[in-house]
Amino acid sequence: MKIGNRYFDTEHECYIMGILNVTPDSFSDGGQWNDIDKARKHVADMIEEGAAIIDVGGESTRPGHTQITIEEEIQRVVPVIRMIKENFNIPVSIDSYKSHVVEAALKAGADMVNDIWGFKYDRRVAELTAQFQVPCCLMHNRDNTDYKDFLTEMCQDLRESVEIAKAAGIPDENIILDPGVGVGFGKTYEQNLQAINHLELLKEIGYPVLLATSRKSVIGRALDLPSDQRVEGTVVTTVMGVEKGASFVRVHDVKENKRAIQMTQAILREQ
């Protein structure tokens, strides 16, 4: 798979997507990187620690978050995307589900679209992704937790997102799937654990898988720890993701997760 100017071996490797939240209210790192100089330094640090993609988000998706205006979100992400493209040789993903934001980000140089609604919130996002010929990550999401068979329905929901993508003209080689771990993404605590534990079901759909669990509440509840003390729990999910074939993990703590990936792959390759 090609993202930006880089090729990714999604069959044999697992890559780090480093999180850059340019928001004042993200659950874990709100306010830390919404200054352009701090953001530049953080991107440099993440690249040095092993990030292969930088994911830029301008609106918090934490439980109970307040949706901001499109104009405000564009003002947050576009300068940061331009700064990254001017200063670093690394693919940039835009974390948004709104077409006006995605369009502005792609025009600013973003190389990938990361849509937490899997193209179901705003269908024009799929059209823009096809128009700019960039890859996309389609995340599973619902506005409720009413499932008769959670795992089956999660996969079916993702297949529907894939159909939206293909109908818009996005080729198979530009599609990544994400199970959407998070209490704000239509899943209970138990369902989040199931989603992590059954990533192989997403692989069976036929696309690379991205796992995004970093510092999330499912880890906090399992360990009874606040968001700034969830590194070890995140690392465990990363190891499980590698074992189950994830091609990408989206994380805050790049160094620790990169080392975990390398160690896990070293063991698995000696089977």
Pick the catalytic residue from 216, 230, 258, 259: 216
Instruction: Check: CB of residue 133 under 8 Å from CB of residue 171.
Output: no
Active site residue 148: no
Half-sphere exposure of 117 (CA within 13 A, CB side): 15
Strands 136-139 and 210-211: unpaired
Three-state secondary structure call for residue 57: strand
Instruction: Check: CB of residue 18 under 8 Å from CB of residue 51.
Output: yes
| Structure-token pair, residue 100 | 């006006």
Active site residue 216: yes
**What backbone torsions phi and psi does residue 47 show, to the nearest 5 degrees?**
-65, -45
Pick the catalytic residue from 250, 258, 259, 269: 250
* Angle ∠(29,32,38) on CA atoms, nearest 5: 140
Among 142, 85, 84, 81, residue whose Cα is nearest residue 117 = 142
| Structure-token pair, residue 23 | 């928001």
Residues with a catalytic annotation lie at 216, 250
